[in-house]
């Protein structure tokens, strides 16, 4: 157990080292950091002073270790464009993204697992066929097209829901939430559905495949031979064994949702970290790009680590075999 976790930890550290090196080189190779901080008419002396202050003449190793030191203290410097500390910006916009991802995760996991189990058990019913064909269409629909379609239908045509932005925000300490007002729910529902659809189809197909796999195993055949009811077979025996991979699915799901929140937030002008990242890329705002990269990588490393450990805890085959 300990050696397993140690191995995983070592890999996570490696990932973070590589990602931080990439994000460090962003600062050095994308544009001139001094030019990005001073105006056009800065004198040579001012430029040299800033160079000196930033330590740009130090050896690359010294600079890198200073960079890593800063990251460990969540210190990413000032945004070139907004001139505010990047970590403040991220903390400010994080609740919007996390709430969006949370609502989408609930939607996609609930419907994905329920529909996946249904289509896995009733393989040949026409409802299953319809659900499956629709799910293949879902994989082919780019997230932003779904978003535009929903906006056109519910905001432009029917005028039921707002087309963009995040309203009904209430402050709970430093956390600004939009989940406790009706107005907030009205504004989160379209982006959340948009974000969840692709993941929903993925989960549906994975759970279905897993369910069909389990239904073929000997212990299910044996349960049938013993004359157990369909209900007992499906829910007591089959479902339990499909739930182990569902843990991995949840991990993948949250990762995918965070990634595609960039697209969804742009379509709906949702004021989260993803929208901030896209704007930063547009304006080559290196500190935000670098910070977002490190932040997302860290998130993924943590998710993967938790998934691995949970897998280990839940599945006795891995625990005893490994």
Q: Which residues bind other proteins (CB under 8 A)?
A: 11, 14-15, 18-19, 26, 29-31, 136-137, 139-145, 148-149, 151-152, 156, 163, 255-256, 258-260, 262-263, 266, 277-278, 281-282, 284, 289, 293, 296-297, 300-301, 304
What CA–CA distance (Å, rounded) separates 80 from 279?
12
Where are the extended beta strands (E) located within the chain?
A: 170-172, 175-177
Give whichever of 68 and 293 is closer to other proteins, judged by the CB atom. 293
Instruction: Report which secondary-structure segment, H or E, holds 91.
Output: helix 86-121
Instruction: Please state the closest distance from residue 187 (CB atom) to other proteins, in A.
Output: 17
142: alpha, beta or left? (left if phi > 0; alpha if psi -120 to 50): beta
Instruction: Please state the closest distance from residue 203 (CB atom) to other proteins, in A.
Output: 16
Give whichever of 44 and 157 is closer to other proteins, judged by the CB atom. 157
Instruction: Please state the closest distance from residue 149 (CB atom) to other proteins, in A.
Output: 8
DSSP structure class, residue 297 = H
Give whichever of 99 and 285 is closer to other proteins, judged by the CB atom. 285
Instruction: Please state the closest distance from residue 3 (CB atom) to other proteins, in A.
Output: 18
- What number of other Cβ atoms are within 10 A of residue 172's Cβ? 10
Instruction: Please state the closest distance from residue 284 (CB atom) to other proteins, in A.
Output: 4
Closest CA to 270 of 142, 160, 163: 163
Give whichever of 152 and 175 is closer to other proteins, judged by the CB atom. 152
Give whichever of 106 and 145 is closer to other proteins, judged by the CB atom. 145
Structural contact between residues 45 and 37, judged by C-beta atoms closer than 8 angstroms = no
What CA–CA distance (Å, rounded) separates 143 from 125?
29
What CA–CA distance (Å, rounded) separates 307 from 134?
29
Give whichever of 117 and 301 is closer to other proteins, judged by the CB atom. 301
Instruction: Please state the closest distance from residue 84 (CB atom) to other proteins, in A.
Output: 21
Block residue for tokens 């009904």: 168
């Amino acid at each position: 157990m300990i050696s397993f976790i140690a191995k995983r930890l070592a890999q996570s550290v490696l990932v973070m080292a590589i990602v931080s090196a990439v994000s460090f080189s962003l600062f050095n190779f994308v544009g001139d950091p001094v030019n990005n901080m001073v105006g056009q008419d800065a004198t040579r002396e001012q430029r040299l002073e800033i160079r000196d202050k930033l330590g740009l003449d130090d050896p690359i190793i010294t600079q890198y270790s200073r960079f890593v030191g800063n990251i460990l203290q969540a210190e990413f410097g000032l945004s070139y464009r907004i001139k505010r500390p990047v970590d403040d910006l991220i903390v400010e916009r994080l609740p919007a993204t996390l709430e969006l991802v949370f609502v989408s995760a609930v939607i996609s996991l609930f419907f994905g697992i329920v529909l996946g189990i249904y289509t896995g058990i009733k393989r040949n019913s026409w409802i299953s066929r319809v659900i499956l064909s629709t799910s293949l269409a879902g994989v082919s629909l780019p997230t932003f097209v779904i978003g535009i379609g929903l906006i056109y239908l519910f905001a432009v045509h029917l005028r039921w829901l707002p087309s963009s932005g995040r309203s009904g925000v209430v402050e709970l300490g430093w956390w600004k939430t939009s989940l406790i007002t009706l107005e907030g729910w009205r504004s989160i529902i379209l982006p959340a559905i948009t974000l969840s659809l692709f993941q929903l189809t993925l989960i549906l197909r994975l759970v279905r495949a897993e369910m069909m796999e389990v239904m073929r195993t000997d212990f299910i055949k044996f349960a049938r031979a013993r004359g157990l009811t369909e209900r007992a077979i499906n829910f007591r025996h089959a479902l339990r064994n499909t739930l182990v991979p569902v843990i991995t699915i949840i991990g993948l799901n949250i990762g995918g949702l965070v990634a595609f929140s960039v697209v969804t937030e742009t379509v709906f002008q949702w004021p989260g970290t993803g929208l901030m990242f896209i704007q930063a890329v547009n304006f080559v705002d290196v500190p935000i790009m670098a910070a977002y990269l490190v932040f997302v990588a860290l998130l993924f490393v943590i998710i993967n680590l938790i998934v691995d450990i949970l897998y280990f805890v839940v599945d006795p085959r891995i625990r005893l075999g490994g």
